[in-house]
Structure 1
């Protein structure tokens, strides 16, 4: 599997948990023998401005975060484009699903998923998309940007029981067809992370569900990294998900 990545993602660009030293390294160490790394490239300003307001972009620039945020958005675009033909994963940060058009919170600056899908739609690659956002926290920014567009179905699973959680994902993935399935992959709902619900094997199961849905609908798929803050388990959770995404 191709994994979009850049060494600059290892820098600690702010003091928040998503920028903590060791987060990306934990994932790279776990997956490096199983994937093909592709160097991330920054998103074009036109791709960012197609989603975010000038005032929000200017704010990110003033905070000195435009370079790293645009690199993450560009990595998501690359993963989406590759994902039209084979599964791909954007190992990027900052995360993005709490970024709305004109504001952001929750360690996010630009909405990587929205920027990637909007580019695919604008350039005629897709007509219909589905987003599975299994991060612990609701992806409000993605909903704010894309839900009104009409071409994207967004599902943020929620349940107190892990088996019910998995059943809900399976049900929603089989409910309609689409041209691409984008995954906002947050791993902070793991039993040893903030959410305390899912096992490592559950992430493999989710990946396999995505794989099977894409085989059923003959569509593309890609995923972008969102949350996940326990470095001790993060790498193996990502690896399990990627193996599932490949059908293993």
Structure 2
């Protein structure tokens, strides 16, 4: 069964300035690498439906949504913090990015595919219930997971985040929610420099220092994530797929390569086959070296597709 490749033209129109690493060219780099690798004909391309207000409000406060709507500029840019800004296309892109995960969930639950990759921006895992931060406005992965739980009646879902940065917003939204198990590793100290010590038993979020070797990160997956994930037996997996831990990406210093991303993805696909009928939704987060991003996404999608 083909892997769904979900995106939306609005996602390319969001722009925070020519200097900004979270650029529209990220989606171009992914598309170019999928074409040049020969992967694109093996994917089922799909345009995302736009999220509805209720979808956003499952994880975000209504006051926050009103704030974003009031801040949206008619022209030019409006900064919300030092590295997160809006242009006139930001909110339409954010609605589309959030909708991509919902589109993926619906398609997979209806048996149209087992796995999906959502090539969307802005990213989402730093977005808190009432705050935009770290290039993120809506928490796309949290919105998709909450939708699967409520609309499709799933009882257990897992969120896996291998971005170099801590998915602080996702953690905040689901800590102590026993329907959700979140597993991640991330470089620390590094933005957002938040380590929540709430004792939440459903969080397996492992901070690691700069220059932690890939072998040690694979060991975290094998020895810390996988036993908890297997015991939890999720009915669907959600991946916050950030590729800024790549050796060539200056955002962090963890040194992963395409082979590491493929290995991690294969472990998750195998787990999904055992407990979740193969159901995996992956959503783009970070990754700012354009060549490394494109190559890593190709490796990730190959593993999602069992190729």
Deviations 1:30-85 (A, max 9, x none): 12424221001110111111211112111221232322111110011112333444
In 1, distance between residues paired with 2:274 and 2:100? 27
Q: Is residue 195 of structure 1 aligned with residue 195 of structure 2?
A: no
TM-score (norm 2): 0.76
The answer for the alignment partner of 2:26 in structure 1 is: 23
Bigger drift between 149-158 and 169-178 goes to 169-178
Higher helix proportion (structure 1 or 2): 1
Structure 2 segments unaligned to the other structure (5+ residues): 73-89, 187-207
Residue aligned with 2:185, SS: coil
Contact 1:208 1:246 in 2 (8 A): no
| 1:88 corresponding residue in structure 2 | 116
TM-score (ref. length: structure 1): 0.94
Mapped to 1, the partners of 2:106 and 2:271 lie a distance apart of 18
Call closer, same or farther: CA 1:21–1:178 in 2, change over 3 Å: closer
> 1:246 maps to which residue?
305
8 Å contact kept, 1:126–1:179: yes
1:233 pairs with one of 292, 295, 298: 292
Q: CA deviation at 1:124?
A: 3.5
More displaced, 182-191 or 217-226?
A: 217-226
Would you say how many aligned residue pairs link Structure 1 and Structure 2? 247
Matched residues in 1 for 2:5 and 2:234: separation? 23
1:89-238 alignment runs, 5 A limit: 89-158=117-186, 159=208, 160-171=212-223, 172-175=225-228, 176=231, 177-193=233-249, 194-196=251-253, 197-219=255-277, 220-238=279-297
Q: Identify which of 27, 44, 55 aligns with 1:47.
A: 55
Asked which structure has the greater CA Rg, the reply is: 2
RMSD of the TM alignment (CA)? Answer: 1.6
